[in-house]
Amino acid sequence: MDLFRGLSAFPITPCDAAGQVDVDALQRLLSRLVDAGVDSIGLLGSTGSYPYLTRPARGRAIEAAVEITRGRVPLLVGIGALRTDDAVRLAVDAREAGADALLLAPVSYIPLLEDEVFAHFATVAAATDLPLCVYNNPGTTGFTFSPSLLGRLSRLPNIVAAKNPSAPTEEMAARHGALADAAAAGFSLGYSVDWHANEALIAGGTTWYSVAAGLFPEPCLGIVRAVQAGEHEQARQMNLALEPLWKLFRTYSSYRVVHAAAQVVGVTDTDPPLPILPLPGNVRDEISRVLERLNLD
């Protein structure tokens, strides 16, 4: 099975107010994804609240996930941290707990330079033998990977993929082409930003790293399978049908919406970690109506 191809579903990490992982709720979420047949699971991504969790909490989440996914669905684990040595320790923890691959974002407080990011990734990638995916998420890290930097990283041992933000339809082909031209042969270029991801796949992206799929895998799988079959217009229509959900994501942020949606469908009753506040009741009612209209409830 190709880890960096198809649909990678990114679930939330249910936790209590003290940051302790709700193992039962997490495993319920993961079982839904395994049963649906997603191609991989992205644990402790941005949707999974990785910056808000302690090292022990992250470790418990990985152990709980491996119990569900081992031998069934590949597990990609986020290891982002401010310090390089902390990211190395998290990489080793993930490897020892049974992760199949790593996902690394250039978390920072002081804005990072390209050479600093390159050294950070080279050091972390060398810490284990696991394949590593570059997490290009400028919306949270403030750092954007240039095609040239991504090309340099793609030629390092163990760095085999990138998760990039997808672009609007009219820009996507050129964006993907620039990255593909810079990257080493065989390097996997995948995309996030759910409402544009179908066009990223049509443009040649290998993987959709999806927030929505972490809770609602079936419609997202339908889009991916349609693109893989060459049924591009069908994929576009399926994506358009999810526009009410995409509008919620754009309006309130996918992170907040998916946490509320998980409560609406009864998978967990936990809130996002403070200082992130739960969405107010009127917005939760709006989310509930949209999920009912889309038969996602």
Number of domains in the chain: 1
| Residue 238: predicted pLDDT | 98
d(C-alpha 96, C-alpha 237), whole Å: 43
Is 234 inside a domain boundary? no
d(C-alpha 165, C-alpha 195), whole Å: 11
| Residue 1: predicted pLDDT | 45
Is 60 inside a domain boundary? yes
What is the CATH number for 217?
3.20.20.70
| Residue 297: predicted pLDDT | 76
Query: Which residue is listed with tokens 């509008």?
Result: 247
Is 293 inside a domain boundary? no
Is 282 inside a domain boundary? no
The alpha carbon of residue 169 and the mean position of all alpha carbons in its chain are separated, in whole angstroms, by 21
Helices 243-252 & 281-293 angle (0-180, nearest 10):
160
| Residue 2: predicted pLDDT | 75
Using a cut of 0.95, tell me whether the model's pTM lies above it: yes
Q: Side-chain half-sphere of 65: how many Cα atoms within 13 Å?
A: 33
| Residue 277: predicted pLDDT | 96
296: three-class secondary structure by DSSP: coil
Structural domain for 213, as ranges:
6-229
Is 284 inside a domain boundary? no
| Residue 89: predicted pLDDT | 98
- Per residue in 37-70, pLDDT tens? 999 999 999 999 999 999 999 999 999 999 999 9
Is 84 inside a domain boundary? yes
Average pLDDT of adjacent 10-residue blocks, the chain of 297 residues:
89 95 97 97 98 98 98 97 98 98 97 98 98 97 97 98 96 96 97 97 98 98 98 98 98 98 95 96 98 94
208: three-class secondary structure by DSSP: strand
Is 264 inside a domain boundary? no
The dihedral sign for the CA sequence 47, 48, 50, 53: positive
Is 270:16 a contact under the CB 8 Å cutoff? yes
Is 160 inside a domain boundary? yes
Q: Which two tokens stand for residue 205?
A: 């992206």
d(C-alpha 36, C-alpha 58), whole Å: 25
| Residue 258: predicted pLDDT | 98
